[in-house]
Amino acid sequence: MGRRKLCFQETFVSFFVSLVFIFHRGVICQDDSSLDNPAANRLYNQFVFDKISNLTEVFEDDIKRELGFCITNVKEDYNEAFNFSSKPGFLNKCGKTTKGDMMQRICTAAEVRIYFNGLLGGAKRATNYLKPNKNCNLSSWMSGCEPGWACRTAKDVKVDLKDDKNVPVRTQQCAPCCAGFFCPRGITCMIPCPLGAYCPEAKLNRTTGLCDPYHYQLPSGQPNHTCGGADIWADIVSSSEVFCSAGSFCPSTIDKLPCTRGHFCRTGSTAEKNCFKLATCNPRSTNQNITAYGIMLFAGLGFLLIILYNCSDQVLATRERRQAKSREKAVQSVRETQTQEKWKSAKDIAKKHATELQQSFSRTFSRRKSMKQPDLMRGKSLHTQSQMFRYAYGQIEKEKAMQEQNKNLTFSGVISMANDIEIRKRPTIEVAFKDLTITLKGKNKHLMRCVTGKLSPGRVSAVMGPSGAGKTTFLTALTGKAAGCTMTGMILVNGKVESIQSYKRIIGFVPQDDIVHGNLTVEENLWFSARCRLPADLPKPEKVLVVERVIESLGLQHVRDSMVGTVEKRGISGGQRKRVNVGLEMVMEPSLLILDEPTSGLDSSSSQLLLRALRREALEGVNICMVVHQPSYTLFRMFDDLILLAKGGLICYQGSVKKVEEYFSSLGIVVPERVNPPDYYIDILEGILKPSTSSGVTYKQLPVRWMLHNGYPVPSDMLKSIEGMASAENSAHGGSAHGSVFWQDVKANVEIKKDTLQNNFSNSGDLSQRQVPGVYQQFRYFLGRLGKQRLREARTLAVDYLILLLAGICLGTLAKVSDETFGAMGYTYTVIAVSLLCKITALRSFSLDKLHYWRESRAGMSSLAYFLAKDTVDHFNTIVKPLVYLSMFYFFNNPRSSVGDNYIVLICLVYCVTGIAFALAILFEPGPAQLWSVLLPVVLTLIATSTNDNKIVESISELCYTRWALEAFVVSNAQRSLAYHSLWITDGEWLQHQALPSLPHLPDINRHLEPLCSVLLYGNFPKEVALSSFYACKTILDGSIVNIEKPQRFYKKKQYTIIAEDHNTVHCS
């Protein structure tokens, strides 16, 4: 800091030495007779100002080097401060007053150095801050040393005004300082006041004893001493009386005029400025009232947003109505065609007298096949909505007719039927498991043991068992995501030892909870899943067929255009929501479909409807496996296979549903009449009911009996019926001492994390032979979905904008901008308020959709596309929210900077805090994320505005986005300040120590892009952290035994749980 002050001092000395030199060269040529000659004055002024322009060329490099941080253009800035060509009257007046010896009273370089050394030394004006010199010291103190007075040198003394080493003897003919000049106390010479200052001759105020308009007093003991001129010129805080006061303008340094009506004059004005047409400007106005423009801007912006919302909503509604009409026409056309075909078929049969059913059946098949071929070919080139719907409903009606005529077809028969009507075939997946045993690492606890069986394509398998039997663990093991566990045995995919993850693009998983977007319609939810997960090269008519087929089979036709709804806003019923949850996986045409309790909470009819839809999928070769609890007898008979698990993860039956009663009857376990078989078996496995004593079998022996029945190898510790099973149970539930439980949990968690990372970085390859849409295409789909969701959240956005408006009104009214601080205080509040409000609202982008993201990412959708779409949609708020805030703040505060300057800074600020909010929303739960959003702006602003000399605090402040945002605001305001140039040129240190206590660092107006780029950079880095956290969360979920528990309050408080076993849970965020 000392070095910079020294540079300032040297520069100021050079600056004023040159100025004095020019004045000397110009005035010395005049005598008293030429002072009243206008032509001579014009020539003199022209000569002087030619020299002034030459001065900028001589010292331009020095000024740029030492004062470049506050000067944009040296010539322009210097002319704005010292170009007296328009009003040079004070020079002529001073020449007359001094009778031609004006140049002998102007300070030399050495005297200017004395003044600015004292000023930059930080001394207060109440003390004699100038060091003693040759003319003013303890032994020699004349009237010229008093404030507002100056003396001249002897006539025979030659004064070198460029001499910055020696102070000339200046003690003769002491007189008051000329108007337009200032004469500091402690030196006996004059220095010219710059433009924007008002330096008249002082007059004594008999009441206060001060020399108005200045603040010095007459010296005591000198009755003949009078008030002189100005005594100081420094920064506006230290010498506000010298500057032209607000409400007035000073065309020269000795003239001061009041502002007239329709104009306004800020501090340091040299001319009055016209007010805008709608602004209010009374006489002596210091600023114009432009609140009307803020109200107009807000009204226009609100009107535009309302139009945009209504038009977009109307476009969506019109599109839905058009699609509905196209569907109705397509259905009607297909039904008419089907009726005509039926009559024609009946007529042909009657004519040919065909009596045998098989002949009629064959003719019907061949006729339909021949009729269908051209339709299919046309389906690949269809473009209009009506054509695609007609094609889709035509195919659906044909499939319905075929199924109606062949209700009892086997799977092979269905394949043959599919060939006849050319239904697109799916690759089949058969999953076989042999002697599958899963042990939790770190605890040596068996989750499953000795499980053998298979899941066949074209069949619906039910997994049942009591609580703690490991049903979810079984499903997780099938999907290859048993992280933190040791798995022995084999899992074969289509008879080969392959990773099931290689087929993840054709595997669907339906979670227990209905994770569906509530602010989308049923059809929009299904269509989004279909677009992202069906083959990329599948023609759109075929996609329409897939979606319409799922809607038809799940019975969702009458609610397809209804919002799914949330807890806050009710939509479709719970059963319909459950079917939509299943439909999200059905529309991707999976080969293996795993469902976790899809019938929970459904009534009997809804469960049967869902099972019929799943059976139809099975008829197309889909391998379906689901966990169910206590199904009704009718529902139970709709399953093909049953996997019955006992406690400890032991299997006690796996096979056809039709043979389960026969098997248990062979063990002496007979289901009583009017008792549901699955309920009876589960009660026995729970130990609630005991088999009859005549059977000689206990529930603990059932897994061993099943293994012996099928000839599977039985572990030696399970051969003994009772002791062995007790041992197995202890092994399953663990028998560790309480003292080692903690360490076992720690070790188990470490193993889970280790396996998670291994699973993430291991690439099993893709064997599904399905090419899904790429990142760019999925980005477009995500963008369209988010756009619809934002339009349907218009009320929430309106509340956000209203809060911003109120904040702008309050801060704009309370934190008025001032010339002394360039509005630093108001901008400090702005940085805090905008950061806080925008962070809180940006948290909703990810906090409310974590469940949906985790489901979609596990389904193989692109995390990058999801994040980029969220970020792109939030750019709307990045653009609009600064406008909303400025529409009130700017026009209530009316800073010197333009709307555009403030808008650019606010855009960068909102972009930055949005990125920080993204990272907080992903890394933390909603509650802690909100607390961090409130805490960070306040703490970072305190650090950024701290004047502490601690190097650590200073280094941290360099990393605070609030510091750069505040600096950008102040620089933009300072660049347009009328009093800016004279303030900076005189005392560069003033901005740091006096006017801007909020900014501990000296900003550079020539590097106004640096703070903006810094703010943007500090916004990009958190977004990169957020995206990396996205992938980390996806890793945890993809590599873990996952089940997302239903939160107590949806969207209010979410608790995500990783389930290792039905009775063993590990919580994570």
Query: Is residue 516 within 8 Å of 525, Cβ to Cβ?
Result: yes
Q: How far is CA 477 from the centre of its chain?
A: 37
Residue 849 has pLDDT above 50, yes or no: yes
Tell me the CB-side half-sphere exposure of residue 254, using CA atoms within 13 A.
21
Q: Which domains does the chain have, with CATH numbers?
A: 2-243 (no CATH), 309-420 (no CATH), 431-718 (3.40.50.300), 775-1038 (no CATH)
Q: Could you read off the pLDDT of 214-245 as tens digits, one per residue?
A: 888 898 888 888 999 998 877 666 677 788 88
Judging by DSSP bridges, how do beta strands 263-264 and 273-274 pair with one another? antiparallel
Query: Is residue 373 within 8 Å of 394, Cβ to Cβ?
Result: no
Query: Is residue 238 within 8 Å of 231, Cβ to Cβ?
Result: no
Query: Is residue 681 within 8 Å of 699, Cβ to Cβ?
Result: no
Give SS3 for 641.
strand
Tell me the CB-side half-sphere exposure of residue 745, using CA atoms within 13 A.
10
Distance, first Cα to last Cα, the chain: 49
* Assigned token pair, 962: 């609030």
Average pLDDT across the chain, whole number: 76
Report how far residue 339's alpha carbon sits from residue 1036's, in angstroms, rounded to the nearest whole number.
55
Q: Could you read off the pLDDT of 1029-1051 as tens digits, one per residue?
A: 877 765 544 444 334 333 333 33
pLDDT at 346: 64
Q: Could you read off the pLDDT of 176-224 as tens digits, one per residue?
A: 998 888 899 888 988 888 888 889 999 998 888 899 888 888 988 888 8
Residue 995 has pLDDT above 60, yes or no: no
Query: Is residue 230 within 8 Å of 182, Cβ to Cβ?
Result: yes
Percent of the chain surpassing pLDDT 70: 71
* Residue that wins the pLDDT comparison between 899 and 380: 899
Listed in sequence order, the residues at least 6 apart from 957 whose beta carbon sits closer than 8 Å to its beta carbon are: 943, 944, 946, 963, 1000, 1001
Highest mean pLDDT among 11-20, 634-643, 759-768, 1055-1064: 634-643
Report how far residue 335's alpha carbon sits from residue 357's, in angstroms, rounded to the nearest whole number.
25
In angstroms, the Cα distances linking 864 to 318, 784, 868 are 32, 16, 6
> What is the reported pTM?
0.75
Report how far residue 832's alpha carbon sits from residue 118's, in angstroms, rounded to the nearest whole number.
38
Report how far residue 24's alpha carbon sits from residue 435's, in angstroms, rounded to the nearest whole number.
108
Which neighbouring-strand residues pair with 212? 203
Dihedral (CA of 506, 512, 516, 522) sign: positive
In angstroms, the Cα distances linking 956 to 910, 943, 944, 945, 951 are 21, 7, 8, 11, 9
DSSP state of 244: P
Listed in sequence order, the residues at least 6 apart from 39 whose beta carbon sits closer than 8 Å to its beta carbon are: none
Other Cβ atoms less than 10 A from the Cβ of 760: the count is: 16
pLDDT at 582: 93
Report how far residue 865's alpha carbon sits from residue 531's, in angstroms, rounded to the nearest whole number.
14
Residue type for position 229: G
- Work out the average pLDDT over 57-70: 55
pLDDT at 369: 40
Highest mean pLDDT among 334-348, 416-430, 713-727, 829-843: 829-843
Other Cβ atoms less than 10 A from the Cβ of 387: the count is: 17
